[in-house]
Structure 1
Amino acid sequence: MPIRQFQAQRMHAPRDFQAIANQPVCVEIGAGKGKHALLFSGQNPEKQLIAVERTREKFLSMQKQHGLEGQQNLQPIHADALPWVVHALFPAQVEQFFILYPNPEPHNPAQRWLNMPFFEFLLSRLKTGGQITLASNIPDYIEEAHQQLIEVWKLPFVKEVIPADSARTHFEIKYLERGELCQQLIITKPEGCTTRFDDFQPLQGQTAAAAE
């Protein structure tokens, strides 16, 4: 399906927005209660991970567990991911994005990640050679994203079946215990990949007051 251009300049900053430094980071979108974020940051102490979650209850659960475990390289963020990414991230700043078991949007396919104009902006924040991991338990979701990568985005990727003993998120554990097929696409930003947002600098909260 055709993808229109994302209107980044129209995004208001999330409430209580705080800017971040322009240094290499990994970002998890829709981090839930933080199981993967806590595991990843514990296993990769050399990497800085920002875990973004929109739902307050889930964010507070992640924040509480982070307080108990205390990883210095993990920063939980309570915000809607789209405006946060626009206001916070710099071009080619992100080493890896994780989008694990997103809402499949059964009644609104245009809101699926690889169908959204925003995906081009997300790509602009990824460094060359950086990766996006998109996981789902819904075969049609993965197949559609697979086709979008070939036909629209023209990006290299690997499609993998997630092992039955994987336990990165609470959803993943539940789906695998049910015997469901869980798959992931690992998408790489190749050398020479350009977007219309490569020179777009973060708004860094300039319109935060307007959002309130």
Structure 2
Amino acid sequence: MPIRQFQAQRMHAPRDFQSIENSPICVEIGAGKGKHALLFSEQNPQLKLVAVERTREKFLAMQKQHQLEGQDNLTPIHADALPWVVHALYPQQVQHFFILYPNPEPHNPAQRWLNMPFFEFLISRLQTHGTITLASNIPEYIVEAEQQLQKVWNLPYEKQVIASDSARTHFEIKYLERGELCQQLVISKPENYATRFDGFQPLQGQNTQVIEPKNVK
């Protein structure tokens, strides 16, 4: 399906937005109660992870557990991911994105991650050779994402079956206990990959500022 251009400059900042420094980070989108975020930050102390969750109840659960465990390389953020990414992240800043078991949007396919114009902006924030890990328990979701990677985004990826004893998220545990097939696509950004947002700087919470993306074809 055709993808229209994302209108980044129209995104309003999340409530209580705070900017971050321009240094390499990892980002989890839809972090839920933070099970993966807490585990990843504990296992990778050399990496900084920002875990973004929109639902207040889940965010508070993640924040509470983070306060108990105390990983100083993890920053939980309560925000909608799209405006937060536009306002906070710099071009080629992110080492790894994690999108684990997103809403499959059964009644609105245009809102699936690889069908959204926003996905181009997300790629622009990713470092060269950085990765996006997209996991799902729905085979059709993975198949459609593969088709979009091949036909629209022209990005290399590796398709992986998730081990039956994996326990990164509460959803993953539930799906695997049911015996469902869980899969992930590990998407890579090759050298010289260009987007229309490569020169787009973060809005830094300024709702009234309009910054047009550079190198628009």
Q: TM-score range by the shorter chain?
A: over 0.9
- Quote the residue 2:7 is aligned against: 7
Amino acid at match of 2:93: Q
Rounded to whole Å, the distance in 2 between the matches of 1:166 and 1:146 is 23
How big is the alpha-carbon RMSD for the aligned residues of Structure 1 and Structure 2? Answer: 1.0
Q: Does 1:158 align with 2:131?
A: no
CA distance in 2, matches of 1:206, 1:109: 31
Number of the residue aligned with 2:194:
194
Distance in 2 (CA, whole Å) between partners of 1:120 and 1:153 is 8
- The letter for the 1-side match of 2:79 is A
Partner deviation per Cα, 1:13-52 (whole Å, 9 max, x = no partner): 0000000000000000000000000000000000000000
Distance 1:3 1:159 in 2: 23
Q: Can you list the C-alpha shifts for 1:134-182, whole angstroms capped at 9, x where unaligned?
A: 0000000000000000011010000000000000000000000000000
What is the one-letter code of the residue matched to 1:70?
G
Matching of residues 56-71 of structure 1 within 5 Å: 56-71=56-71
- Return the alpha-carbon distance in structure 2 between the equivalents of residues 149 and 205 of structure 1: 31
Tell me the distance in 1 between the aligned counterparts of 2:15 and 2:187: 31
Specify the alignment match of 2:73 in structure 1. 73
The DSSP-based 3-state class of the residue aligned with 2:201 is coil
- The amino acid that maps onto 1:206 is Q
CA distance in 2, matches of 1:194, 1:13: 26
Match of 2:25 in 1: 25
2:159 aligned partner, one-letter code: K
1:86 aligns with 2:86: yes
Alignment of 1:117-156 (within 5 A): 117-156=117-156
Aligned length: 209
Q: 3-state DSSP class of the match of 2:72?
A: coil
Shift of 1:207: 1.4
Residue 205 of structure 1 corresponds to which residue in structure 2?
Answer: 205
Corresponding residue number in structure 1 for 2:211: none
Give SS of 1:196's match.
Answer: coil
Residue identity opposite 2:157 in structure 1: F
Q: Residues of 1 paired with 2:121 and 2:205: CA distance?
A: 17
One-letter amino acid matched to 1:75: T
Percent of paired sites with the same residue: 81
Q: What TM-score does the superposition give when structure 1 sets the normalisation length?
A: 0.98
Corresponding residue SS for 1:39: helix
* Distance in 2 between residues matched to 1:143 and 1:174, nearest whole Å: 22
Match of 2:52 in 1: 52
Q: Structure 1 regions of 5+ residues with no counterpart?
A: none
Runs of 4+ aligned residues of structure 1 deviating over 6 Å after TM superposition are: none
How far the C-alpha of 1:6 sits from its partner, in A, is 0.1
CA-CA distance at 1:81 after TM superposition? 0.1
Rounded to whole Å, the distance in 1 between the matches of 2:97 and 2:143 is 20
CA distance in 2, matches of 1:20, 1:58: 22
